[in-house]
Structure 1
Amino acid sequence: MRKSIIVCAALLAGCNNHQSALAPFGLEARSTLTMTMVLVIGAVIIALGVVAVFVLAVRAPEGRLDHAGGMRMVLWLGAIVPTVVLTALLVWALPAMRPLPDAAQNLRVHVEGEQFWWRVRYKHQGQPPLISANEVRIPVGRTIVFELTATDVIHSFWIPGLAGKMDMIPGRTNYLVVKADKAGIYRGVCAEFCGLSHALMAFDVIAMEPAAFDAWLATSREPPIRTQGRGAALFAASGCNACHSLNGGQSGGSGIGPDLTHFGTRRTLGAGILAPTVENTAAFIRDPHKSKPGARMPSYAAMPEADARAIARWLKEAGR
Structure 2
Amino acid sequence: MQSGEGTSLRIVHHPRGRRLIVLMPLWLAGCDGPQSWLAPAGRGADTVAGLFWVVVPAAAVIWTVVIGLAVYAGAITPRPHSEKGASRLILWGGIVAPTATIFALMVVSLFLLRDVTGNSADLTLNARGEQWWWRLAYEDPQGRLVPVPNELRLPVGHEAEILLTANRVIHSFWAPTLGGKIDMIPGRENRMTLTPTTPGVYRGQCAEFCGEAHAQMAFPVVVMQPDAFDDWLAGQAQPARAPATEAARRGAELFLSEGCGACHTVRGTPASGEVGPDLTHVGSRLTIGAGVLETSREALIDWIAAPEVVKPGARMPGYAMLSEAELGYLADYLMGLE
Q: Tell whether the structures are fold-level matches, with TM greater than 0.5.
A: yes
Give 1:158 shift.
1.8
Give 1:136 shift.
0.8
Give 1:202 shift.
1.1
The share of aligned pairs that are identical, in percent, is: 42
Output the amino acid matched with 2:235: T
Contact 1:134–1:203 under 8 Å retained in 2: yes
Q: Which runs of 4+ in 1 moved over 4 A?
A: 2-10, 60-63
Equivalent residue runs for 1:1-320 within 5 Å: 10-11=26-27, 13-57=29-73, 58-60=75-77, 66-98=82-114, 99-103=116-120, 106-227=122-243, 229-247=249-267, 252-316=271-335, 318-320=336-338
The structure-2 alpha-carbon separation of the partners of 1:56 and 1:46, relative to structure 1 and needing over 3 Å to count, comes to same
The structure-2 alpha-carbon separation of the partners of 1:166 and 1:89, relative to structure 1 and needing over 3 Å to count, comes to closer
Contact 2:148–2:236 under 8 Å retained in 1: no
Give 1:146 shift.
0.9
The structure-2 alpha-carbon separation of the partners of 1:132 and 1:62, relative to structure 1 and needing over 3 Å to count, comes to closer
Q: What is the rounded CA distance, in whole Å, between the counterparts of 2:133 and 2:101 in structure 1?
A: 45
Q: What is the rounded CA distance, in whole Å, between the counterparts of 1:45 and 1:160 in structure 2?
A: 27
Give 1:167 shift.
2.1
Q: What is the rounded CA distance, in whole Å, between the counterparts of 2:77 and 2:321 in structure 1?
A: 83
The structure-2 alpha-carbon separation of the partners of 1:232 and 1:61, relative to structure 1 and needing over 3 Å to count, comes to closer
As a proportion of its length, which structure holds more helix? 2
The structure-2 alpha-carbon separation of the partners of 1:13 and 1:300, relative to structure 1 and needing over 3 Å to count, comes to closer
Counterpart residue number, 2:4: none
Structure 1 runs not aligned, ≥5 long = none
Give the TM-score, by structure 2 length.
Answer: 0.82
Contact 2:217–2:290 under 8 Å retained in 1: yes
Per-residue CA shift, 1:185-233, capped at 9, x if unaligned? 1111222333322222111111122222122112322335322522222
Give the TM-score, by structure 1 length.
Answer: 0.87
Give 1:270 shift.
0.9
Q: What is the rounded CA distance, in whole Å, between the counterparts of 1:5 and 1:96 in structure 2?
A: 42
Give 1:62 shift.
6.3
Query: For this pair of structures, how many residues does the alignment match?
Result: 315
The structure-2 alpha-carbon separation of the partners of 1:31 and 1:304, relative to structure 1 and needing over 3 Å to count, comes to same
The structure-2 alpha-carbon separation of the partners of 1:113 and 1:78, relative to structure 1 and needing over 3 Å to count, comes to closer
**Structure 2 residue matching 1:246: 3-state secondary structure:** coil
Contact 1:106–1:124 under 8 Å retained in 2: no
